[in-house]
Structure 1
């Protein structure tokens, strides 16, 4: 399931393109784009690195149903994960980055 790109928020900085291990993310016409949606393996590297928070991954239907989502936000040496359930309730979890 490839990332959902919120194009109004995307600045076209290229961070997602530089970090994608599958070389799937590109910047075209100033906006991020996943060039092969079926080849994305949900590593979330692009989502975590995006400074504009323009990318998100939907939780697969089998795990959370739409509109549940999981959104990471890098904050220095931590990742703040925001989990939104079916009813719109949000919870935040902070995880320290090891490297």
Structure 2
């Protein structure tokens, strides 16, 4: 598994020298490439989802293994001050949303 960064959404956190995802990644696996974030070593990703939660643009998703959500399923998060919405987009086009907080 590894993360996926949607380059069409990522703005590289222009108010910071490093992107939020780059600063929070415990494995130092994300870096800015030009003005966008990029996963440098996907095979080393720990799947902690810290970057998924940290991205202010919701540009990062995490691929989930077959045991959890089926091949091709992506986990995304949308946050506000009171709660997080964890969104599972499945390969077949279906979606499940879980609220936390």
Could you list the per-position Cα deviations for residues 26-68 of structure 1 after superposition, in whole angstroms to 9, with x for gaps in the alignment? 1111111111111111001111111111111111134333332
CA contact (8 A) 1:4 1:55 kept: yes
TM-score (normalised: structure 2): 0.83
Mark the runs of 5 or more structure 1 residues left unpaired by the alignment. Answer: none
Q: Is the 8 A contact 1:64 1:86 kept in 2?
A: no
Matches of 2:26 and 2:49, distance apart in 1: 10
1:31 alignment partner in structure 2: 36
Aligned to 2:16: none
Displacement over 3 Å in runs of 4+: none
Q: CA shift at 1:87, angstroms?
A: 2.9
Tell me, what secondary structure is at the counterpart of 1:16? helix
Aligned match of 2:63 = 58
Q: Give the alignment partner of residue 21 of structure 1, picking from 20, 26, 46.
A: 26
Does residue 12 in structure 1 map to residue 12 in structure 2?
A: yes
Structure 2's unaligned 5+ residue stretches are 14-18
